[in-house]
Amino acid sequence: MKLHDFKVLTFDCYGTLIDWETGILGALAPLLAKARAQPSRNEVLETYGAIEFDQESATPAMPYSQLLSFVYKRLADTWGASVTNEEANVFGASVPDWPAFPDTVDALAYLKRHYRLVILSNVDRISFRSSNARLKVEFDAIYTAQDIGSYKPDTRNFEYLLRRLREDFGLEKPNVLHTAQSLYHDHEPARRIGLASAWIDRRHAQEGWGATKAPEGTPAYDFRFESMGALADAHRRETSA
């Protein structure tokens, strides 16, 4: 299997293209400053990831920005802090402030010359709009949890993706390489439906799973890269060989 076997790259965004852990930690700083508990960086991310996943499971149709407000209040309860609705809503609106990884923009610009690029993200459309401006590329399609009514790792999201790619572009499953950081949210369900995937192992130099739920074992994947830049470089080597 080679990278140039595929016609479309489908992307998770947050954690893969956008540095959501840096964004989350920055947006949580006001809460952590007044929390009775003082968790470590990894503890903050792990607690956030567990509560976010639980909230997504409980309210799958809730838009992501609203869902984040609920997550913020639950984190405040966990860490013994009192917060207002306004503070929770500010956190819910923080996604546009989350930065892109340093290698993302150049990698996407290169890959755009060789593939259709498509987003499949656990986000709402308004939040993604500002992230899209940071990524500086025109995606061929954007499919969000708000469009689908559920959050990954629900396989409904991937079935929706494949149906829309077939209807909108005439692309079938063998044409698609799903590209993502989260083994739990993306690679496990991708494997369940027989979709090829590339793991962008952004946390390769860190312990634990950060803000994503730990997978059961290590799900199968077809490619592994430590960054989007490394994926683009691998494609360059293939095409120049």
Handedness of CA 185, 190, 191, 196 (dihedral sign): negative
208 — pLDDT class (breaks 50, 70, 90): confident
The span from the CA of 175 to the CA of 6, in Å, is 5
Chain region(s) in the chain for CATH 3.40.50.1000: 3-19+100-240
Asked whether the predicted pLDDT for residue 37 surpasses 90, the reply is no
The span from the CA of 197 to the CA of 18, in Å, is 18
Residue 107, classified by CB atoms within 10 Å of its CB into exposed (0-12), middle (13-18) or buried (19+), is buried
pLDDT at 108: 98
Catalytic residues: 12
pLDDT at 219: 87
CATH T-level topology, domain 30-97? DNA polymerase; domain 1 (1.10.150)
123 — pLDDT class (breaks 50, 70, 90): very high
* Cβ-count burial 19-49 (b if 16+ within 10 Å, e if not): bbbebbbebbeebeeebeeebeeeebbbbbb
Pairing type for strands 141-144 and 223-225 reads unpaired
Chain region(s) in the chain for CATH 1.10.150: 30-97
pLDDT at 241: 65
CATH dotted code for 3-19+100-240: 3.40.50.1000
166 — pLDDT class (breaks 50, 70, 90): very high
